[in-house]
Every structure is written in structure tokens, then in C-alpha cells.
Amino acid sequence: MWQSEFVQGELRRLYPSCEVEILGMSTRGDEILDVSLAKVGGKGLFVKELEAALADGRADIAVHSAKDVPMQLPEGFSLTAISEREDPRDGFVSLHHASLGALPRGAVVGTSSLRREAQLRECYPGLAFAPLRGNLDTRLSKLDRGDYDAIVLAVAGLKRLGLGGRVRAVLDPEISLPAAGQGALAIECRTQRTDLVDLLSALNHPDTAACVRAERAVSRALGGSCQLPLGAFAQMQGGEIRLRGLVAAPDASRIVRAEARGPVHEPERIGEQLARALLARGADGILAAIQ
């Protein structure tokens, strides 16, 4: 809802005469909280109902967390704008400990992400990990009542809801490489709505959009889903895109990493190049074992 209200405010600022209403909806991803996303259909559970509302005309646009949008959109739908990115990194949240390194052996860390879990298992093999679902308030309340010693969440979501003060430490990408699209908002509409495509172009942040397109291309090339611990993170450096990626075995027994660089106007090509590099280094074996 915060994301939708943010986009609503931006559209009203840009187009004062435009009436913008929010159609609040609950998705299957919001409702299924006792099972990991990897077991019940993946991140697409957060967007299917919204796409149905676009298809039948109840809604004109849908606002998503870019990291929740499946890599293949249904025919006739497109991501029209990608907003400027908030902090894309993961954050460490705990009541009694300042960092992951300060946790005692056997401490329980809550996370909903196989990507986070695999990377943190590699760096901190003495820790235990447990699934964590629900909205931010629910996850934080589970920490506060003692269900976990610490939890790991996206910094962007905490900051947007005014909860940035709960972050005890921000995890460098070298420790926890973010998910494709993390920290950015994606606005989706029907491709045929050229009127909306023109209006929404003002909300598109070109550098963020190029980075997210590169990240999504990596995941798309590898068949990325919730079942695959995959990280992809692009940054603008020296006028070009620097793209880092990894594929991990769910138990962190093996993690393959690679990097690619290239011109800003070729984000998909850079993503596909990185995917090939990951496969050449052994990601194909990890993928085969998972599938």
C-alpha cells in the first residue's frame, strides 16, 4: 500500500488534473504465510491478482516490488516504468546483537529467502536458519517476542515504512548479494495502453531501469524462481553497468559467482553474458540438481 500511495502521490504531482484512485487488493502471496514461497508457487503469487485486475479493466496500472515480478510477463503486459532505487541491500535486525558476526553459535536467524540463507550459511556456518513470512510488522513482532535471535530483511522496505532505525547493520553485497530488482518499484500496465505508457515514462529512472533490466536478464536466462537461490546486482560505474551474480545450492554446499560489465544501452546483453559465465563456472550443475 505504501508503494501504491507513493506512485499515486508522484502522479498527482506530475499531473495535477489527473484523478488517481487506489484499488486495494490482497494477493495469494499476502495470504499464504505458513509455507515458504518456494513451495507454493514463487513470487508470481504477489502479482497474478493484480494482472487480472488490469486485464478486466478494474485497474489501469499495478505497482510491484520489482524483485517480486516474474521474469516472464504474460503476453500483452509490460513494465512501463522502474522507479529510482532505494537502498538495495539486506539489513540485519536484532534486539540484542549488533551484527551477524556477534551472534553466538547456534543462534536462530529468520529469513524468507533461500538466496539470503545460502549466502549467510557460507559466511556464518555456525548459525541456524528458520523460515520467516508475513508483512514487516508481523516479522518484526516475531523477532520481538523471541522467536528468533535475529532476522534479515530488505533495507528498502524498512526505510519506506519509517522503520530504518530497526536496522542494526547493513550487509555489504559481498556478504549478501541482493535479489534482482531489490529496492526498486516496477509499474505494470497493458502494452496496448499507449496513453499510460506515455504518462508513466516520467516516473521511469533510466539508470535504475537499466540496472534492473540487466539483473532480470540474468535471472530470466537461468530460469530464476523462488526455488533457485540466485542473486543479481547491477550498479552504474564509470558510465557502464557493473553486474554481479551468483547461483547457490540451497544448502550452501556450493556457490558460483561471476561478474560482467558493459554499456548502459545493452543491459539485457550484459545479463545474458553474466548468465553464460555462471553456467560455465558450474551453475548448470546446481540448476540440474534443484530441478
* Per-residue pLDDT of the chain in tens (291 residues, 90 and over written 9): 899 999 999 999 999 999 999 998 876 544 444 444 444 444 555 688 899 999 999 999 999 999 989 998 999 999 999 999 999 999 999 999 999 999 999 999 999 899 999 999 999 999 999 999 888 999 999 999 999 999 999 999 999 999 999 999 999 999 999 999 999 999 999 999 999 999 999 999 999 999 999 999 999 999 866 678 999 999 999 999 999 999 999 888 999 999 999 999 999 999 999 999 999 999 999 999 887
Known catalytic membership, residue 144: no
CATH code for the domain defined by 1-85+182-204: 3.40.190.10
Residue of 34, 68, 198, 207 with catalytic role: 68
Q: How far apart are CA 257 and CA 225, in angstroms?
A: 18
Please report the pLDDT score of residue 37 as a whole number. Answer: 45
Per-residue confidence (pLDDT) for residue 33, from 0 to 100? 46
Q: In CATH, which of 3.40.190.10, 3.30.70.260, 3.40.50.150, 3.30.413.10 is domain 90-171?
A: 3.40.190.10
* First and final C-alpha spacing in the chain: 35
CATH 3.40.190.10 range(s) for the chain read: 1-85+182-204, 90-171
* pLDDT at 18 (0 to 100): 92
Decide if 153 contacts 139 (C-beta within 8 A). Answer: yes
Residues of the chain within CATH 3.30.160.40 domain(s) are: 205-291
Report H helices in 191-235: 194-200, 206-221
Euclidean distance between CA atoms 271 and 245, whole angstroms: 9
The pLDDT assigned to 46 comes to: 62
What is the pLDDT, as a whole number, of residue 290?
83
C-alpha cell at 269: 546483453
C-alpha triplet 141, 142, 148: angle, nearest 5°: 135
- Homologous superfamily in CATH for domain 205-291: Porphobilinogen deaminase, C-terminal domain (3.30.160.40)
| DSSP 8-state class, residue 98 | S
